[in-house]
Structure 1
């Protein structure tokens, strides 16, 4: 039989464990928010840079910042990465007549509001030849916000070849293709398998109400 002192010690241990887990969760959230904020700050700086900005000169001169949804960690999801081997190259449609070649590298499987989803992950053989992009992957997607609060063509997520099957997909870091800022760019259109049947109110919003 457990005596009263043992019961009290056990209860105190459980309280301490719950407090520690809560503190760890808060720390993880703070790290995640900092990562998202850093991503947005870096993006803003690139848009202000005259040499690398995708903005038209008139838009860059009056640029005051990109538009984002408030950070919502509900849309920073734990996912499973599934590698797909020996897939053939295919030509991905773009907003122009350009047809760059991609290969389906894998899939990410996740859930939002108890609904299961998956997105295909692509690799471009030409991009991976660039220094620093050897492990670069790409997730273009559409969702039910497109054409309303977000760019009608869709949005993108950057991804890197993961070391484990457990990955994080953070829609707070999704961004608009360059063709949303200027017609001089040609941008991949998300393939049909990556058309999500849910609204993702996270990440970057439409740059202009009309383009």
Structure 2
């Protein structure tokens, strides 16, 4: 009987060990994938033909600055689709406006509060990827003051919001670009210390 109990205990410990190992390597694989994506983006920013940076900044560019990836800010949100008949006019940083369709709302819990973001699709686009311009309490301090963007694809009644992939608009690097400004309903009353930080013009 004692031997049987010993086998059960060892079996349970092995199962727990495998689960912990699996969790660790899943997180490690996720972090590595995020870092690879960031390295690829840095290469794009060094490119003569694809970089949003003006030549004076591109030549001195080293890399973008990010928060360390963490799955605490990979959030599964409830998705409520909306099929707007007419597009809304989103103000741009240049003072113009461009048409975007409202495609849904994403609601999620973070830091003990429930938050909601409106998701858009640019008029004329056929992509399943939805556009989320937002601000949070890091803007103007650790991140670009004009807000950041996030892209996500709905999966039925849920949508994965990975703030580790939050990125700056091109006008954060070059004011000649026209960038959509986050609407009032997408101004989050919480810090999101994930994704891209404010661009340092001198690396």
TM-score by length of 2: 0.89
Which of 160, 167, 187 is the equivalent residue of 2:179?
187
Aligned ranges for residues 1-211 of structure 1 at < 5 Å? 7-86=5-84, 88-128=86-126, 134-160=127-153, 162-208=154-200
After superposition, the C-alpha distances for 1:178-206 in whole angstroms (9 at most, x for unaligned) are 01111110100111111110111111111
Note the aligned Cα RMSD (angstroms).
2.1
Contact in 2 for aligned 1:87/1:105 (Cα 8 Å)? no
For 2:160 and 2:36, the matched residues in 1 are separated by 17
CA distance in 1, matches of 2:99, 2:186: 17
The total of aligned residue pairs comes to: 202
Q: 1: distance between equivalents of 2:181 and 2:20?
A: 41
After superposition, the Cα gap between the structure-2 partners of 1:107 and 1:99, relative to the gap in structure 1 and judged at 3 Å, is: same
User: Partners in 2 of 1:18 and 1:166 — Cα distance?
Assistant: 29
User: Which stretch shows the higher mean deviation, 138-147 or 89-98?
Assistant: 89-98
In the alignment, the residues of structure 2 paired with residue 115 and residue 12 of structure 1 have an alpha-carbon distance, to the nearest angstrom, of 41
Offset at residue 89 of structure 1 (A):
1.3
After superposition, the Cα gap between the structure-2 partners of 1:166 and 1:23, relative to the gap in structure 1 and judged at 3 Å, is farther
Is the 1:101–1:124 contact (alpha carbons within 8 Å) kept by the matching residues of 2? yes
Deviation per CA, 1:15-50: give whole Å up to 9, x if none: 233222212211221221122112211211111111
Residues of 2 paired with 1:75 and 1:87: CA distance? Answer: 33
Please report the TM-score for the alignment, with normalisation by the length of structure 1: 0.86
Q: Secondary structure at the match of 2:136?
A: coil
* TM-aligned CA distance change 1:35 to 1:120, over 3 Å: farther
Does the CA contact (< 8 Å) of 1:102 and 1:125 recur in 2?
A: yes
